[in-house]
Chain A
């Protein structure tokens, strides 16, 4: 099967200087790939490269088997959607206004979203259980609700895969659980998800695969149970880490 996103021998960085080298990754439909690494390891830079926002320093990226440099902005957007760390706009858009923006890649330059786009936006909000917030101004929503609105926008973009940059980083415990469940549900329905996280417990709970990266480069890559080991995480963060399997069968790190 052709992976949704595939990168080989990828080096990413700014102005031709590589921050990380030698990244190989593959994302299949319905899978969650967790990217773990300390601050400054280049996780966001990797995401921006995969989205075609900055060119790679070296290596190849393919979306659904097509080389990234040959795709237009709208074509990339149909393969791969982006959920930023936080919703930052100075204006009080409604949640529905924001989700409607996801339709841009499928609309002609002079078109405005109509009935079908509004229906799809509402369906995306419903899938995340926040349809009742459609008319609310996003400036009045909680951090967790805003994150769900951004995920709904990515769904409305109807891309096969979604990249999420620390989707739960700024959220409280309850919202983290809420957003985490929503992400797992998306994947179970067939969307591929790449997300970065600072929480190995969350990566173990959500992820199918994990990619561990620090300033020295990739530490480990593969299925969660094999990559998220005490050894690998100790090397990743440079502090001793221990792993324990809880009574529910989940992995916990401390």
Chain B
């Protein structure tokens, strides 16, 4: 998938050429530039974003014991989106926009957790989710306000495009800036993945089996938030991946989180590379990723349902 994504594009790179460039052959400078500075960073970014969103979605579905949950349930995408469009409005450079989006994404979830704590609902998943919906709605209102205030010639199209998700401008520097947050986010999830799976039984049961459920869930939220904020600040708001890919993975591995998490990350990476490759090749202009994930994802999802494969109870 990665190789195909690197090969396909307006400037076609045959497999042989990719290999020779990667091996250090610079005899074709144009091919080398396209591959190393444009194509490869973009394909890697797509894989990382897909893996991050799918892993965060799988973690949330398991720990919130709800197959309909997606990574933005606690408002991280709306928060990061608000920060990023604010950055566009203020005319910040790209890295500034990303940093602001990342920060507001984290801040949103911190606010949700603080609010949950203040309402004395620490262990209360429902209170937490409702707070997330409320704060997410506020961030959504903020986004609408920024759109209203934005200059309709320059800023508004940029904002709209960003909110639908795109990897068009991704450079090596963006990748380097985002990678640490993604790795720090996924590492604890991978290490603790079997224990995290026990949260699917509910807090009381998990605690009676010897697990500190409240602390473990907070850790999962922190990790998933970090990954999602990093992904959204680099690629914009991309829906569906975090909701749908965990379901696809569950069909392969079953619901056990220790098997589900790696599978979801891999399928998410592959799916996102596929979608991004389509985004830059099917039309003369770049198609926003958010549109494609829904257009590709929704039919696949319905088809899976129609096959009668329901890895959860009704």
Say whether B65 contacts A90, CB under 8 Å: yes
A112 to B208, alpha carbons, bound, how many Å? Answer: 18
Q: Knowing that A90-B66, A109-B192 are A-B contacts, what are 6 other residue pairs whose CB atoms are under 8 Å apart, sorted by A's residue number?
A: A48-B204, A52-B207, A78-B210, A91-B312, A104-B209, A111-B194
Give residues in B with beta carbon < 8 Å to A.
Answer: 62, 65-67, 191-195, 197-198, 200-202, 204-205, 207-212, 250, 254-256, 258, 310-313
Say whether A53 contacts B209, CB under 8 Å: no
Say whether B255 contacts A91, CB under 8 Å: yes
A89 on interface, CB distance cutoff 8 Å: yes
Distance from B209 Cβ to chain A, minimum over Cβ atoms (Å): 5
Closest B residue by C-beta to A156: B209
A74 to B209, alpha carbons, bound, how many Å? Answer: 7
Name the contact of B311 in the complex, choosing from A73, A76, A88, A91 (C-beta under 8 A).
Answer: A91
| Residues in B whose Cβ lies below 8 Å from that of A84 | 204-205
Say whether B208 contacts A110, CB under 8 Å: no
A123 to B66, alpha carbons, bound, how many Å? Answer: 31
Say whether A53 contacts B207, CB under 8 Å: yes
Say whether A77 contacts B200, CB under 8 Å: no
Say whether B210 contacts A76, CB under 8 Å: yes
Say whether B204 contacts A74, CB under 8 Å: no
With A84-B204, A88-B202, A97-B256: A73-B212 Cβ-Cβ less than 8 Å: yes
Name the contact of B194 in the complex, choosing from A77, A105, A113 (C-beta under 8 A).
Answer: A113
Say whether A92 contacts B311, CB under 8 Å: yes
Say whether B209 contacts A92, CB under 8 Å: no
Say whether B210 contacts A112, CB under 8 Å: no
Closest B residue by C-beta to A82: B208
10 nearest CB pairs, A to B = A105-B210, A77-B210, A91-B255, A82-B208, A139-B313, A74-B210, A112-B194, A104-B209, A90-B312, A110-B191
A102 on interface, CB distance cutoff 8 Å: yes
With A91-B311, A111-B194: A104-B204 Cβ-Cβ less than 8 Å: no
| Residues in B whose Cβ lies below 8 Å from that of A91 | 62, 65, 67, 200, 250, 255, 311-313
A157 to B211, alpha carbons, bound, how many Å? Answer: 12
> Which has the most chain A C-beta neighbours within 10 Å: B191, B193, B200, B209?
B209
| Residues in B whose Cβ lies below 8 Å from that of A94 | 254
Say whether A92 contacts B210, CB under 8 Å: no
Give residues in A with beta carbon < 8 Å to B.
Answer: 48, 51-53, 73-78, 80-82, 84, 88-94, 97-98, 101-102, 104-105, 107, 109-113, 139, 153, 157
A-B contact pairs, 6 of them (CB 8 A): A48-B204, A88-B202, A90-B313, A101-B197, A102-B209, A104-B195
Name the contact of A109 in the complex, choosing from B66, B195, B250, B311 (C-beta under 8 A).
Answer: B195
Say whether A93 contacts B254, CB under 8 Å: yes
Say whether B207 contacts A101, CB under 8 Å: no
With A73-B212, A105-B209, A110-B192: A93-B256 Cβ-Cβ less than 8 Å: yes
| Residues in B whose Cβ lies below 8 Å from that of A93 | 200, 254-256
Distance from A45 Cβ to chain B, minimum over Cβ atoms (Å): 12
Distance from A9 Cβ to chain B, minimum over Cβ atoms (Å): 24
A78 to B310, alpha carbons, bound, how many Å? Answer: 35
Closest A residue by C-beta to B258: A112
A10 to B255, alpha carbons, bound, how many Å? Answer: 40
A75 to B210, alpha carbons, bound, how many Å? Answer: 7
Distance from A65 Cβ to chain B, minimum over Cβ atoms (Å): 19
Distance from A142 Cβ to chain B, minimum over Cβ atoms (Å): 14
Distance from A105 Cβ to chain B, minimum over Cβ atoms (Å): 3
A78 to B195, alpha carbons, bound, how many Å? Answer: 16
Closest B residue by C-beta to A15: B120
Distance from B232 Cβ to chain A, minimum over Cβ atoms (Å): 27
Say whether B209 contacts A89, CB under 8 Å: no
| Residues in A whose Cβ lies below 8 Å from that of B62 | 91
A48 to B202, alpha carbons, bound, how many Å? Answer: 14
